[in-house]
Homo-oligomer: A and B are copies of this chain.
Amino acid sequence: MAIRIGIMGYGNLGRGVEYAVDACEDMELAAVFTRRDPASLSIRKTGVPVVSVDKMDAWKDKIDVLILCGGSATDLPEQTPKYAKDFNVIDSFDTHARIPEHFAAVDASAKAGGKVAIISVGWDPGLFSLNRAYASAILPNGKDYTFWGRGVSQGHSDAIRRIEGVKNAKQYTVPVEAALEAVRSGKNPSLTTREKHTRECFVVAEEGADKARIEKEIKTMPNYFADYDTTVHFIDEKEFNEKHGGLAHGGFVIRSGATGEKTAHKHVVEFSLKLDSNPEFTASVLVAYARAAYRIAGEGGKGAKTVLDIPPAYLSPKTGEELRSSLL
Protein backbone atom coordinates (compact mmCIF):
# COMPACT_ATOMS: atom_id res chain seq x y z
CA MET A 1 0.00 0.00 0.00
CA ALA A 2 1.23 3.45 -0.84
CA ILE A 3 2.37 5.84 1.88
CA ARG A 4 -0.50 8.30 2.40
CA ILE A 5 0.78 11.87 2.52
CA GLY A 6 -1.09 14.90 3.83
CA ILE A 7 -0.05 18.46 2.98
CA MET A 8 -0.71 21.27 5.46
CA GLY A 9 -0.62 24.63 3.69
CA TYR A 10 -0.69 25.06 -0.06
CA GLY A 11 1.80 27.82 -0.92
CA ASN A 12 4.96 27.40 -2.99
CA LEU A 13 6.27 24.69 -0.68
CA GLY A 14 2.97 22.79 -0.52
CA ARG A 15 2.69 22.82 -4.29
CA GLY A 16 6.27 21.53 -4.46
CA VAL A 17 5.34 18.65 -2.15
CA GLU A 18 2.43 17.77 -4.44
CA TYR A 19 4.84 17.48 -7.39
CA ALA A 20 7.39 15.53 -5.35
CA VAL A 21 4.80 13.00 -4.13
CA ASP A 22 3.72 12.49 -7.76
CA ALA A 23 7.31 11.55 -8.60
CA CYS A 24 7.34 8.75 -5.98
CA GLU A 25 5.69 5.47 -6.93
CA ASP A 26 5.38 4.37 -3.32
CA MET A 27 3.38 7.43 -2.21
CA GLU A 28 0.01 9.02 -2.75
CA LEU A 29 -1.39 12.41 -1.86
CA ALA A 30 -4.33 11.73 0.47
CA ALA A 31 -5.46 15.25 1.37
CA VAL A 32 -4.50 18.91 1.44
CA PHE A 33 -5.35 20.74 4.67
CA THR A 34 -5.92 24.48 4.75
CA ARG A 35 -6.86 27.24 7.16
CA ARG A 36 -8.69 28.96 4.34
CA ASP A 37 -12.15 28.05 3.08
CA PRO A 38 -11.48 24.73 1.26
CA ALA A 39 -13.85 25.77 -1.52
CA SER A 40 -11.60 28.74 -2.26
CA LEU A 41 -8.52 26.57 -2.79
CA SER A 42 -7.88 25.09 -6.20
CA ILE A 43 -5.18 22.43 -6.14
CA ARG A 44 -3.44 20.95 -9.14
CA LYS A 45 -4.35 17.33 -8.62
CA THR A 46 -8.03 16.75 -9.21
CA GLY A 47 -9.82 14.30 -6.97
CA VAL A 48 -7.69 14.91 -3.88
CA PRO A 49 -9.79 16.24 -0.99
CA VAL A 50 -9.12 19.76 0.26
CA VAL A 51 -10.00 19.78 3.96
CA SER A 52 -10.39 22.50 6.55
CA VAL A 53 -7.97 22.27 9.48
CA ASP A 54 -11.05 22.18 11.69
CA LYS A 55 -11.84 18.71 10.41
CA MET A 56 -8.40 17.13 10.77
CA ASP A 57 -9.48 14.82 13.60
CA ALA A 58 -11.33 12.67 11.09
CA TRP A 59 -8.07 12.14 9.17
CA LYS A 60 -5.92 10.74 12.00
CA ASP A 61 -6.04 7.21 10.63
CA LYS A 62 -6.02 8.14 6.97
CA ILE A 63 -2.69 9.97 6.79
CA ASP A 64 0.65 8.21 7.31
CA VAL A 65 2.76 11.36 7.27
CA LEU A 66 1.66 14.99 7.40
CA ILE A 67 4.05 17.45 5.75
CA LEU A 68 3.81 20.91 7.30
CA CYS A 69 4.44 23.56 4.66
CA GLY A 70 4.02 26.75 6.70
CA GLY A 71 6.60 29.38 7.59
CA SER A 72 9.12 29.28 10.43
CA ALA A 73 8.22 32.68 11.90
CA THR A 74 4.73 31.94 13.19
CA ASP A 75 3.21 28.81 11.57
CA LEU A 76 5.58 25.98 12.48
CA PRO A 77 6.35 26.90 16.13
CA GLU A 78 2.63 26.44 16.75
CA GLN A 79 1.69 23.78 14.18
CA THR A 80 4.44 21.19 14.53
CA PRO A 81 3.98 20.56 18.28
CA LYS A 82 0.20 20.66 17.81
CA TYR A 83 -0.02 18.12 14.99
CA ALA A 84 2.82 15.87 16.21
CA LYS A 85 0.39 14.59 18.85
CA ASP A 86 -1.84 12.96 16.25
CA PHE A 87 0.24 12.58 13.10
CA ASN A 88 3.73 11.63 12.04
CA VAL A 89 4.99 15.00 10.81
CA ILE A 90 7.80 16.61 8.80
CA ASP A 91 8.62 20.30 8.88
CA SER A 92 11.22 22.62 7.40
CA PHE A 93 11.71 24.86 10.45
CA ASP A 94 14.72 26.95 9.49
CA THR A 95 15.29 29.54 12.22
CA HIS A 96 18.67 28.06 13.20
CA ALA A 97 18.93 29.76 16.59
CA ARG A 98 15.54 28.48 17.73
CA ILE A 99 15.94 24.84 16.65
CA PRO A 100 16.73 23.54 20.18
CA GLU A 101 13.52 24.95 21.69
CA HIS A 102 11.45 23.86 18.69
CA PHE A 103 12.96 20.36 18.96
CA ALA A 104 12.09 20.17 22.67
CA ALA A 105 8.48 21.26 22.13
CA VAL A 106 7.94 18.87 19.22
CA ASP A 107 9.68 15.99 20.99
CA ALA A 108 7.44 16.25 24.07
CA SER A 109 4.34 16.34 21.92
CA ALA A 110 5.35 13.51 19.56
CA LYS A 111 6.36 11.26 22.47
CA ALA A 112 3.04 11.94 24.23
CA GLY A 113 1.18 10.95 21.08
CA GLY A 114 3.46 8.04 20.13
CA LYS A 115 4.31 9.69 16.82
CA VAL A 116 7.47 10.49 14.84
CA ALA A 117 8.38 14.10 13.96
CA ILE A 118 11.33 15.03 11.76
CA ILE A 119 12.04 18.75 12.02
CA SER A 120 14.23 21.23 10.14
CA VAL A 121 14.27 19.23 6.92
CA GLY A 122 15.37 20.89 3.69
CA TRP A 123 18.78 21.96 2.45
CA ASP A 124 19.91 24.44 5.13
CA PRO A 125 19.09 23.25 7.70
CA GLY A 126 19.05 19.79 6.13
CA LEU A 127 21.48 18.57 3.49
CA PHE A 128 23.99 21.28 4.40
CA SER A 129 23.79 20.20 8.05
CA LEU A 130 24.45 16.60 7.03
CA ASN A 131 27.52 17.62 5.14
CA ARG A 132 28.81 19.75 7.99
CA ALA A 133 28.28 16.77 10.34
CA TYR A 134 29.94 14.15 8.15
CA ALA A 135 32.91 16.28 7.17
CA SER A 136 33.62 17.60 10.67
CA ALA A 137 33.47 14.08 12.15
CA ILE A 138 35.89 12.81 9.52
CA LEU A 139 38.31 15.75 9.58
CA PRO A 140 38.41 16.99 13.20
CA ASN A 141 41.41 19.18 12.34
CA GLY A 142 39.67 21.50 9.96
CA LYS A 143 37.28 24.31 9.33
CA ASP A 144 33.76 24.58 7.87
CA TYR A 145 32.55 27.18 5.42
CA THR A 146 29.00 27.68 4.20
CA PHE A 147 28.22 29.93 1.23
CA TRP A 148 24.73 30.65 -0.05
CA GLY A 149 23.67 31.56 -3.54
CA ARG A 150 23.53 32.65 -6.13
CA GLY A 151 19.90 32.81 -5.08
CA VAL A 152 16.86 34.72 -4.05
CA SER A 153 16.55 35.73 -0.41
CA GLN A 154 12.86 36.16 0.34
CA GLY A 155 13.55 37.96 3.63
CA HIS A 156 15.85 40.51 2.05
CA SER A 157 13.47 41.07 -0.88
CA ASP A 158 10.67 41.71 1.63
CA ALA A 159 12.85 44.16 3.55
CA ILE A 160 13.43 46.22 0.41
CA ARG A 161 9.74 46.20 -0.45
CA ARG A 162 8.97 47.83 2.91
CA ILE A 163 10.95 50.94 1.89
CA GLU A 164 8.82 53.90 0.86
CA GLY A 165 8.66 54.34 -2.91
CA VAL A 166 9.49 50.70 -3.72
CA LYS A 167 6.92 48.91 -5.84
CA ASN A 168 8.69 45.59 -6.16
CA ALA A 169 12.10 44.14 -5.39
CA LYS A 170 14.17 41.00 -5.56
CA GLN A 171 17.43 40.42 -3.73
CA TYR A 172 20.07 37.91 -4.79
CA THR A 173 22.71 36.63 -2.39
CA VAL A 174 25.93 36.01 -4.31
CA PRO A 175 28.95 34.10 -2.99
CA VAL A 176 32.26 35.84 -3.67
CA GLU A 177 34.20 33.68 -6.12
CA ALA A 178 37.61 34.69 -4.71
CA ALA A 179 36.52 33.61 -1.22
CA LEU A 180 35.26 30.26 -2.54
CA GLU A 181 38.57 29.71 -4.31
CA ALA A 182 40.57 30.59 -1.20
CA VAL A 183 38.57 28.05 0.80
CA ARG A 184 38.93 25.36 -1.89
CA SER A 185 42.67 25.87 -1.94
CA GLY A 186 42.82 24.53 1.62
CA LYS A 187 44.22 27.76 3.07
CA ASN A 188 41.56 27.95 5.83
CA PRO A 189 41.18 31.72 5.43
CA SER A 190 39.40 33.90 8.00
CA LEU A 191 36.62 35.62 6.11
CA THR A 192 34.44 38.53 7.17
CA THR A 193 30.77 38.72 6.27
CA ARG A 194 31.64 41.24 3.55
CA GLU A 195 34.28 38.96 2.05
CA LYS A 196 31.97 35.94 1.72
CA HIS A 197 28.84 37.29 0.03
CA THR A 198 27.63 40.28 -1.94
CA ARG A 199 23.99 41.35 -2.29
CA GLU A 200 22.47 42.32 -5.60
CA CYS A 201 19.10 44.08 -5.63
CA PHE A 202 16.67 44.64 -8.49
CA VAL A 203 14.14 47.32 -7.63
CA VAL A 204 11.05 48.68 -9.34
CA ALA A 205 10.48 52.21 -7.98
CA GLU A 206 7.11 53.94 -7.77
CA GLU A 207 6.74 56.70 -10.33
CA GLY A 208 8.47 59.85 -9.12
CA ALA A 209 10.16 58.13 -6.17
CA ASP A 210 13.58 59.38 -5.05
CA LYS A 211 15.88 56.61 -6.26
CA ALA A 212 18.97 57.99 -4.57
CA ARG A 213 17.19 57.88 -1.21
CA ILE A 214 15.90 54.33 -1.82
CA GLU A 215 19.38 53.13 -2.75
CA LYS A 216 20.85 54.73 0.36
CA GLU A 217 18.15 53.22 2.59
CA ILE A 218 18.86 49.77 1.19
CA LYS A 219 22.64 49.98 1.46
CA THR A 220 22.62 51.24 5.04
CA MET A 221 19.90 48.94 6.39
CA PRO A 222 21.33 47.30 9.53
CA ASN A 223 21.62 43.46 9.66
CA TYR A 224 20.22 43.07 6.16
CA PHE A 225 22.64 45.09 4.00
CA ALA A 226 24.99 47.35 5.96
CA ASP A 227 27.65 44.64 6.43
CA TYR A 228 27.70 43.70 2.75
CA ASP A 229 28.80 45.14 -0.56
CA THR A 230 25.39 45.81 -2.06
CA THR A 231 24.52 46.70 -5.63
CA VAL A 232 21.15 48.25 -6.49
CA HIS A 233 19.71 48.16 -10.01
CA PHE A 234 16.54 50.08 -10.80
CA ILE A 235 14.56 48.38 -13.56
CA ASP A 236 11.07 48.73 -14.99
CA GLU A 237 8.21 46.42 -14.16
CA LYS A 238 8.32 44.61 -17.51
CA GLU A 239 11.96 43.61 -17.08
CA PHE A 240 11.30 42.67 -13.45
CA ASN A 241 8.50 40.31 -14.38
CA GLU A 242 10.42 38.79 -17.27
CA LYS A 243 13.74 38.19 -15.57
CA HIS A 244 13.16 38.05 -11.83
CA GLY A 245 10.14 35.82 -11.33
CA GLY A 246 12.14 32.70 -10.41
CA LEU A 247 13.07 31.24 -7.04
CA ALA A 248 16.47 29.81 -7.89
CA HIS A 249 18.95 29.21 -5.09
CA GLY A 250 21.90 27.11 -4.07
CA GLY A 251 25.10 27.19 -2.12
CA PHE A 252 28.24 25.45 -0.97
CA VAL A 253 29.41 23.67 2.19
CA ILE A 254 33.16 23.19 2.21
CA ARG A 255 35.32 21.65 4.89
CA SER A 256 39.02 21.87 4.56
CA GLY A 257 41.12 19.81 6.96
CA ALA A 258 44.46 18.14 7.44
CA THR A 259 45.84 14.76 8.48
CA GLY A 260 49.09 12.90 8.98
CA GLU A 261 52.60 13.80 10.03
CA LYS A 262 52.65 17.49 11.00
CA THR A 263 49.15 17.59 9.44
CA ALA A 264 50.91 18.09 6.12
CA HIS A 265 48.19 16.50 3.98
CA LYS A 266 45.28 18.76 3.11
CA HIS A 267 41.84 17.54 2.14
CA VAL A 268 38.88 19.48 0.80
CA VAL A 269 35.33 18.11 1.05
CA GLU A 270 32.77 20.10 -0.91
CA PHE A 271 29.01 19.82 -1.29
CA SER A 272 27.06 22.15 -3.50
CA LEU A 273 23.55 22.71 -4.80
CA LYS A 274 22.39 24.62 -7.88
CA LEU A 275 18.61 24.79 -7.77
CA ASP A 276 16.16 26.23 -10.30
CA SER A 277 13.41 26.21 -7.68
CA ASN A 278 14.20 26.46 -3.99
CA PRO A 279 10.68 25.49 -2.85
CA GLU A 280 10.40 22.50 -5.20
CA PHE A 281 13.80 21.13 -4.17
CA THR A 282 13.07 21.70 -0.47
CA ALA A 283 9.76 19.89 -0.99
CA SER A 284 11.60 16.96 -2.56
CA VAL A 285 13.79 16.68 0.53
CA LEU A 286 10.71 16.80 2.79
CA VAL A 287 9.08 13.99 0.84
CA ALA A 288 12.16 11.73 1.01
CA TYR A 289 12.20 12.24 4.80
CA ALA A 290 8.46 11.51 4.93
CA ARG A 291 9.38 8.03 3.70
CA ALA A 292 11.89 7.78 6.56
CA ALA A 293 9.28 8.92 9.10
CA TYR A 294 6.86 6.28 7.83
CA ARG A 295 9.46 3.54 8.27
CA ILE A 296 10.59 4.69 11.69
CA ALA A 297 6.96 4.86 12.84
CA GLY A 298 6.46 1.34 11.49
CA GLU A 299 9.36 0.16 13.66
CA GLY A 300 7.79 1.75 16.74
CA GLY A 301 9.99 4.85 16.84
CA LYS A 302 8.66 7.99 18.47
CA GLY A 303 9.65 11.54 19.27
CA ALA A 304 11.42 14.35 17.45
CA LYS A 305 14.34 13.69 15.13
CA THR A 306 16.45 15.67 12.71
CA VAL A 307 18.24 14.65 9.51
CA LEU A 308 21.26 13.85 11.68
CA ASP A 309 19.37 11.00 13.36
CA ILE A 310 18.12 9.26 10.22
CA PRO A 311 20.02 6.43 8.47
CA PRO A 312 20.41 7.42 4.78
CA ALA A 313 18.88 4.13 3.59
CA TYR A 314 15.54 5.13 5.15
CA LEU A 315 15.10 7.87 2.53
CA SER A 316 15.15 5.46 -0.38
CA PRO A 317 12.31 3.29 -1.69
CA LYS A 318 14.91 0.60 -2.40
CA THR A 319 15.62 -2.26 0.02
CA GLY A 320 18.97 -2.52 1.80
CA GLU A 321 19.89 -5.34 -0.56
CA GLU A 322 19.08 -3.28 -3.64
CA LEU A 323 21.00 -0.31 -2.31
CA ARG A 324 24.08 -2.40 -1.51
CA SER A 325 24.18 -3.96 -4.96
CA SER A 326 23.23 -0.86 -6.96
CA LEU A 327 24.85 2.17 -5.41
CA LEU A 328 27.16 1.33 -2.54
Hey, which bits of chain A sit against chain B, CB under 8 A? 16, 19-20, 23-24, 96, 99-100, 103, 120, 125, 127, 129-134, 136-141, 144, 184, 186, 259-261, 264-277, 280-281, 283-285, 288, 291, 306-313, 315-317, 320-321, 323-325, 327-328
Knowing A20-B259, A321-B100, the reply to whether A316 touches B133 (Cβ < 8 A) is yes
Chain B residue numbers with a CB within 8 Å of A316 are 133, 136-137
13 contacts between A and B (CB under 8 A): A16-B259, A129-B327, A133-B327, A136-B316, A259-B277, A259-B281, A264-B276, A265-B277, A268-B275, A269-B272, A270-B273, A306-B324, A308-B313
Query: Cβ of A276: which chain B residues have Cβ within 8 Å of it?
Result: 264-267
Oligomer copy total: 2
Q: Which residue of B lies closest to A25 (CB)?
A: B140
Pick the 8 closest A-B CB pairs, nearest first.
A137-B315, A265-B276, A265-B277, A308-B313, A259-B280, A268-B274, A137-B316, A132-B327
Give the distance in Å from the alpha carbon of A324 to the alpha carbon of B270 in the complex.
21
Contacts of A136 in B (CB 8 A): 316, 327
CA distance in complex: A280, B317 (Å):
34
Q: A260-B280, A270-B271 are in contact. Are A288 and B138 (CB under 8 A)?
A: yes
A324 to B103, CA, bound (A): 9
- The residue that A284 contacts in the complex, of B139, B281, B312, B325, with Cβ under 8 A, is B139
Q: For A127, list chain B residues within 8 Å (CB).
A: 134, 138, 269
Q: Which residues of B contact A144 (CB under 8 A)?
A: 327
Question: Which residues of the partner chain B approach A186 to less than 8 Å between Cβ atoms?
Answer: 274
Closest residue of B by beta carbon distance from A276 = B265
Q: Nearest chain-B residue to A277 (Cβ)?
A: B265
Measured CA separation A72–B104 after assembly (Å): 45
